[in-house]
Copies of this chain bind each other. A is one copy, B any other.
Amino acid sequence: MVNTSVTLCGLPMDNPIIPASGTFGFGYEFADWYDINLLGTFSFKGTTREPRYGNPTPRIAETASGMLNSVGLQNPGVHAVIAEELPRLKKVFHKPVMANVSGFSEEDYVYTCQLLDKEPQVGWLEVNISCPNVHNGGMSFGTLPESAMAITKAVKAVTTKPVIMKLSPNVTDIASIAKACEEGGADGISLINTLMGMRLDLKKRKPLLANVTGGMSGPAVFPVALRMVWQVYNAVSIPIVGLGGVSSAEDVIEMMLAGATAVQVGAANLVDPYACKTILEDLPRVMEQLKIDSLSEIIGGAH
């Protein structure tokens, strides 16, 4: 019998599999497909202080082995998330959930995190300082060590639960940003958010996305994500949540060997609603093939 359990920032998880924010809604959509309590946890849709419609459509484009999205943080706002989404989730999911938070100012982050920190259903706060699809905010916090540290400190000052900072890959030096978050008191780092890309409509001679650029995800970005997890593992001593193109049990193990304590699965959920379930079913067999008894023992094992 193989052991898939891991501990992320002090909280035990049955397995390291976490559907990524923005690909799993508030969970109950996927409960129509399978029992989502099989998962380690999931990270819910990026939540902001105020409700957001997001960007105009089209918001989706295809790429080679991947996709672009420019959803732009559509969400009902933190108050509706607490009043409506969490109670609905409670009926179908009985584990601590990862609360994903975005903002446009330090105060936004503080406000939203403070509220979600008090919710008993929330196990971790994942603070997204890396959304490429919103102007004046989001990603800009994640591209400078100073602002990354400032947001981390501000959120840590008002919360009690583990704070995981979610980083952008669209930077020159990912390790310096991760280190700044660690110095600011972060309990963990998750990476990567999407790579900024775009596509054109050749007939219309215009960008395919109404927002012009979007975030690229899917297997295409996996090698970049793996490289950054590797670099951040060398730079910090807090746990890392690895994500970016993960689509199979083998990818999960590759991410963990590079340094991830837990692994998020994003775009794969969108092209196959059973993606995470399949990964969980495949994991024991792949672990046995690779002579892995316990997943927690391989974290960073390729260094």
Contact = CB atoms under 8 A, between A and B. Distances in A.
B63 A223 contact: yes
Given A63-B220, A202-B290, 14 more contacts: A64-B66, A64-B245, A65-B66, A65-B220, A171-B171, A171-B172, A198-B227, A199-B254, A202-B250, A202-B253, A206-B302, A212-B230, A213-B227, A220-B220
Interface of A: 63-66, 68, 143, 170-172, 195-200, 202-203, 205-207, 212-213, 216, 218-224, 226-227, 230, 245, 250, 253-254, 257-258, 290, 298, 301-302
* Among A198, A258, A290, residue most surrounded by chain B Cβ atoms (within 10 Å): A198
Given A172-B170, A223-B216, A302-B207, A200 B65 contact: no
B224 A197 contact: yes
B301 A230 contact: no
Q: Is the interface of A mostly helix, strand, loop or mixed?
A: mixed
Nearest to A212: B230
A65 B227 contact: no
A222 B219 CA distance: 14
25 contacts: A63-B222, A64-B245, A65-B219, A66-B223, A68-B223, A143-B172, A171-B172, A195-B223, A195-B224, A196-B224, A196-B227, A197-B226, A197-B227, A198-B230, A198-B258, A199-B223, A199-B254, A200-B226, A200-B254, A200-B257, A202-B250, A205-B301, A213-B227, A219-B220, A220-B221
